[in-house]
Structure 1
Amino acid sequence: MKLGYHIGYWSSGPPHGALETILEAERLGFDSVWTAEAYGSDAFTPLAWWGSSTSTVRLGTNIVQMSARTPTATAMSALSLDHLSGGRFVLGLGASGPQVVEGWYGRPYPRPLARTREYIDIVRQVFAREAPVTYDGDFFQLPYRGGAGLGKPLKPTVHPLRAELPIYLAAEGPKNVALSAEIADGWLPMFFSPRSNEFYRDALAEGFARPGARRGWEDFEVPASVPLIVDDDVEQCADLIRPSLALYIGGMGAKQMNFHRDVFARLGYEETATKVQELYLAGHKKDAAAAIPTKLVEDIALIGPPAKIRDELQAWRETVVTSLLLRGDASLLRKAAEIVS
């Protein structure tokens, strides 16, 4: 199983020591480095800045939010980064959720799967550079339908370094996971658990079986973000993760539509997820975090002393996951490399 380093979201500013940790990840033989975006820092700029100091790790976005940019603008950034990195770039895309899409980007959210399909179709046209890009979809039209009426089909001036530049799709629900297997080169799960492996394996298999599917089990990547904390005190480890889980289960989505909450409900924590959401939305964030049982944390994270983590890793090795994406400082990455090797 490969290892990757996920820088994650910025808080009020750039994460301290990010470049040093990235360089350590490369020195340790990590396969990839990933950035994120929500409604603060973007995913492309930090990857280009810090990635310019690397030479071997793959550089990926986990994830670029599709509503933030037109498909052609995203394709331009991807082409540029792939050239500058010598063919090491991976374009990770995601639909995000209605709160961010409509509240921050001012774009409509309905029918995200159909919108994703059109978006990736256009991006791949740009990457292929076989003809001027045209599209007549429900969500995107090139040239634009209406306006001045003077739009002209265009081809990118930049020749792609790779026409088959990889696209990974972030997804949590079964329909979106199946879509990733059908039209993408990889799936970026969030809050994956070995106990949910068969559920996701079935969703991926459905996508692979569709006519025109790009990949199969043998060449499809599944890099999963997995919290890993090495310490003899398991409860103390869990306490470090609980606030983040409370945020996602309780606050990263509306009460009637929260995809992160749904992940834990499917995992068997329906009652807990409901309680956490109610507490968090009522402003009781600490109580919401405290309501998360250690077992739930252990289902989606690797925490505790090295021997415990080594034992639990076997279950992860038997899943669809191909890479573990870790967060933390250089010291944690060194411990992780030793444990996983």
Structure 2
Amino acid sequence: MTSVGVVTPFWLDRPPAEALDIAVNADLAGFGTLWIGEMATFDAFALATAVGLRTSHISLKIGPLAAGVRSPVALALGLSTVVTTTGRRASLALGASSPRIVRDWHGRPWEPVRRVRQTVRDTRAVLNGNRMAGFRMQAPLPGTPISVAAFGPAMTRVAADEADEVVLNLVGAGHVTRVRAELAELTRVPPPIAVWLPTALDPGPATIRQLREQLAVYLAPPGYGEMFSALGHGDLVARARAGTPRSELAHDIPVDLLEAVGAVGSATAIARRVEEYFEAGASHVGLVPATADDPAARTLLTTLAPLVQGRSS
């Protein structure tokens, strides 16, 4: 079974509060799932609580959050706060994130594989009501799904071993097929794959610029850079890792790279692109809506919802 949801984007050129309006528009358009990540604006659990109080039915997937930043107890308490205060279904997604976020922003050691594996196991145990270091949740959330963001062989193995779902961001459809095959080799019952897909409906220059500026952020981090290199853009990755200013990198990102990892064009073309990811092996596609020319993605979400009706869960 496949489904289409919405990802709350954190565009660098848009006001932070737009995230709430996007959530409301996704809910009104009939999408059933909203992903809420975390960048440089809101705490994800606080934002998810606000979303739950302003919407009527949409379920919440919080993350992928950096596994090395919060303890399993903090993650479980955050999720419990969202579920209890909103009455909404909510699940959790975790990932390695990047050295800059984990080590530089939060002052935690960068140990991606070990930290993600242990955090998933321990958080699952806490959510299930097990006692850990003397702590036990008063209102456990047993069976809560935990998704894992995976890039590269090591993290794919962690996801195969520990995840209820694998999350991929900024990837082409061919990459989904490869990851699906890797998971099938690693485990008897591969977890389903969710893909975050930057989406722009009939984009103008401002939207293309928005997509370029955001993608430039991901050129240097481990995993992302290797994937972009595999798509034939190793020169951009090398420049990003050498310290080239992000504005220069964004200017040089070709449209064909945006198209390789996103859905850009007419509503029909976007719907076809989403279908490509399902055919490649994805079970869920989260649309990351561009908003430079479409505030709070109102037009994009209302236009695309009928085209993915039956999948928007």
Measured against the shorter chain, the TM-score band is 0.7 to 0.9
In the alignment, which of 294, 299, 308 is matched to residue 331 of structure 1? Answer: 299
Which segments of 5 or more consecutive residues in structure 1 lack a partner in the other structure? 134-141, 143-152, 210-215
Q: Distance in 2 between matches of 1:76 and 1:207?
A: 32
Deviation, 1:101, is 1.3
Correspondences of 1:167-182 after superposition (within 5 Å): 167-182=146-161
Task: Tell me what 2:129 maps to.
Answer: 129
Q: Distance in 2 between matches of 1:203 and 1:123?
A: 25
Q: Distance in 2 between matches of 1:294 and 1:34?
A: 26
Deviation, 1:302, is 0.7
Task: Tell me what 2:51 maps to.
Answer: 50
Q: Distance in 1 between matches of 2:262 and 2:159?
A: 23
SS at match of 2:264: strand
Task: Tell me what 2:294 maps to.
Answer: none
Q: Distance in 2 between matches of 1:100 and 1:232?
A: 30
In the alignment, which of 113, 136, 143 is matched to residue 155 of structure 1? Answer: 136
Say if 1:246 and 1:288, in contact at 8 Å, map to a contact too.
Answer: yes
| More contact order relative to length (CA 8 Å, sep ≥ 6) | 2
SS at match of 1:63: strand
User: 1:274 aligned to 2:255?
Assistant: no
SS at match of 2:166: strand
Which segments of 5 or more consecutive residues in structure 2 lack a partner in the other structure? 292-296
Deviation, 1:165, is 0.7
TM superposition score normalised by structure 2: 0.85
User: 1:194 aligned to 2:173?
Assistant: yes
What is the CA deviation profile of residues 103-153 of structure 1, one whole-angstrom value per residue up to 9, with x for unaligned ones?
11111113x2122222122112212224x32xxxxxxxx3xxxxxxxxxx2
Task: Tell me what 2:71 maps to.
Answer: 70
Paired residues, number: 301
Say if 2:167 and 2:194, in contact at 8 Å, map to a contact too.
Answer: yes
Correspondences of 1:1-341 after superposition (within 5 Å): 1-9=2-10, 15-86=16-87, 88-110=89-111, 112-130=112-130, 132-133=131-132, 142=133, 153-156=134-137, 158-160=138-140, 162-209=141-188, 216-217=189-190, 220-231=191-202, 238-250=208-220, 253=221, 258-275=222-239, 277-278=241-242, 281-283=243-245, 285-326=246-287, 327=289, 328=291, 329-341=297-309
Say if 2:277 and 2:285, in contact at 8 Å, map to a contact too.
Answer: no
Moved more, 170-179 or 99-108: 170-179
Deviation, 1:207, is 3.8
What is the CA deviation profile of residues 53-106 of structure 1, one whole-angstrom value per residue up to 9, with x for unaligned ones?
233211111222222221111112122323334351111112211122111111
Deviation, 1:339, is 3.7
Q: Which has the larger radius of gyration?
A: 1
Give RMSD over aligned pairs: 2.6
What percent identity do the matched residue pairs reach?
25
What is the CA deviation profile of residues 157-204 of structure 1, one whole-angstrom value per residue up to 9, with x for unaligned ones?
x222x3101111112222212311221111121112112123211232
